Amino acid sequence: MKDIVISNEVKQRIEQLMKQLHTLCADNNVPMVASVVLGRTETNEGININKAVSTFIDSWTGAFDSTLVAAIEILQLNRVPPSAIEILSTLRKNIEQNRKTPGKNFH
């Protein structure tokens, strides 16, 4: 795995833009999830990942989407096993196929 090294200037700009996006979405009741890897280095102890994650979900006001909530849970992990990614891919394909079949829509 290749290290990702980002300058402090770029990190600050990304964080500023994420704050602006969060404010815009929260002020307008728009559900959102944004994430950026701000750095990744491999050490003797393992892989260090620095992520910025910004979210706005408010089920009381209707600013909610289950796929975004699932994404938030995944983004909190340091690593997702390939088998879990395959399960998610299979789930997506099954849901897409069921949408094409009349009378088998999921909500």
pLDDT tens per residue across span 20-37: 999 999 999 999 999 999
Contacts of 61 (CB under 8 A, 6+ apart): 29
pLDDT average, residue stretch 82-96: 94
Digit-coded pLDDT (tens) for 37-68? 999 999 888 889 999 999 999 999 999 999 99
Question: For a pLDDT cut of 70, what percent of the chain falls above it?
Answer: 94
- Residue 1 has a pLDDT of 73
pLDDT > 70? residue 102: no
The span from the CA of 17 to the CA of 34, in Å, is: 10
